[in-house]
Amino acid sequence: MHDPRVLLDPATEAVRKLARRGYELDLGQLDKLLTQRTSAIQRIDHARREAKQVANQVQAKARAGEDVVELRERARALKTEIQQTEDQHRQFEADLQDFLLGIPNLPDDRLPDGNSDEFAVEVRTWGDIPTFDFEVADHVDIGERLGIFDFLRATKLAGPRFAILKGPGAQLERAIAAFLLQLHTERHGYIEYSLPALVNRPTMTGTGQLPKFEEDLFKTGVDERELFLIPTAEVPLTNLHAGETLPAEGLPLAYTAHTPCFRSEAGSYGRDTRGLIRLHQFSKVELVRVVDAERSADELEIMLSHAETCLQELGLAYRVVTLPAGDIGFSAQYTYDIEVWLPSQQRYREIASVSDCGMFQARRAGIRTKTKEGKRGFAATLNGSGLPIGRTLVAILEQCQQADGSVRIPGVLVPHLGFSRIKADGTIHGVRGVGVWG
């Protein structure tokens, strides 16, 4: 959320910057709402000062035995005026907050123009694009041939956009998560959390999912409480410090969590409806950093390197792109996408995003900082995928498929699995020998 005075400052160029992401800022309406709130505060302060003066006069005249009827009538009128103006102030404050909550973050001027991934700018590539001397299959055909996917029964249980993984597929899903958490905690220094998958409205509002994206969320209620299923662990991880003041000397804070994620994907039907690419429920290892606002750009590069390391360790070819201003998330001011190569599509597809949100989320959630000298401010927050389990599994199945119909397992996952290959007949082969699941 923004400071309205900053948005109204011509030096901020808020209208121009927000226009780059397709948002038309109504400065006239913002100025009106801010003026109404300010005027109400001033009237309340003036009335309270007069009420204090009248109260003092009542006491003085009463002690002197003078008539205080008119003064008491004025005191009652002032009390009513204060109550009514406070009611107006609450309404003006709510109107202003509602307006501000709908304004996205200001995009960084370094971002390219454009409103879709077609305008993304490639930063670098890593790894050799795999070549095959046989006809490649997509991850759905591979998984069903190996017997590790069961989309039919998933649909029976929950409807479309859900998946069941079984046998080596379920083991591989678990191994990917274990590997990623170990990498981020032991090598990158993140603290692992186990978190609620249900959160309240203020928590969703703090990171920017509400109020704008309510239709994309799954909502439920327990004992008359309104709760939302998290779309990513970014939501509870970032809000761990909502309403808190953090010692600036203790930053950065680096957190990670493996959670289920839930998204209704409203309006996206027809896109990637086959397989694991776009599901209502999936799991992901998320990264969040809470940092000094002046270091957020540098911290973004650090987080990007952590996400890239995951794919490098897995040996999966990918590229990094900078998203255009019109395609970044609501709360972001700068975003990198990491796109992994999918042989079946002969193109790079998004597997992770890493975003610098500046002070935007911290202002919404009330995450403040204070130095030893007493200087106060807001923190900056960053979030990134490190990585989504399903899309990582998709990339492994496709990039590591073999001519004999088997799938080779990346070496870093073998210690977590105990096997190094899923054979074409559904058996597994690896360090603990050959086995059959069933």
Amino acid sitting at position 85: T
Neighbours of 110 (CB within 10 A): 10
Residue 263 designated active-site: yes
Whose tokens are 């692992």? That residue is 192
| Sign of the CA dihedral with 331 first, then 337, 340, and 342 last | positive
Selected catalytic residue, list 20, 368, 391, 421: 391
Selected catalytic residue, list 21, 263, 319, 368: 263
Q: How far is CA 88 from the centre of its chain?
A: 34
Token reading at 106: 């200001």
Specify whether the CB–CB gap between 349 and 261 falls below 8 A.
no
Selected catalytic residue, list 295, 350, 408, 420: 350
Q: What are phi and psi of 182, to 5 degrees?
A: -65, -40
Specify whether the CB–CB gap between 377 and 293 falls below 8 A.
yes
> How many whole angstroms separate alpha carbon 189 and alpha carbon 154?
37
The most distant pair of C-alpha atoms in the chain lies apart, rounded to whole Å, by 108
Output DSSP code: residue 304. Answer: H
For 59-106, the DSSP string reads HHHHHTT---HHHHHHHHHHHHHHHHHHHHHHHHHHHHHHHHHTSPPP
Selected catalytic residue, list 43, 278, 295, 408: 278
Specify whether the CB–CB gap between 320 and 310 falls below 8 A.
no
Selected catalytic residue, list 296, 353, 355, 385: 353
> How many whole angstroms separate alpha carbon 155 and alpha carbon 147?
16
User: Please, which residues have CB within 8 angstroms of residue 229's CB and are 6 or more apart in sequence?
Assistant: 197, 198, 217, 218, 219, 220, 262
Instruction: Give the chain's radius of gyration (CA, Å).
Output: 28
Residue 50 designated active-site: no
Specify whether the CB–CB gap between 232 and 270 falls below 8 A.
no
- Taking 3-state DSSP, the helix, strand and coil percentages for the chain, each rounded to the nearest 5, stand at 45, 20, 35
> How many whole angstroms separate alpha carbon 238 and alpha carbon 207?
7
Residue 16 designated active-site: no
Nearest to 362 by CA among 295, 303, 291: 291
Cα torsion through 232, 238, 243, 245, rounded to 10:
180
Residue 278 designated active-site: yes
Order of strands, edge to edge, in the sheet holding 121-126?
121-126, 318-322, 334-342, 347-356, 380-388, 281-291, 253-262, 191-193
Active site residues: 263, 278, 350, 353, 391
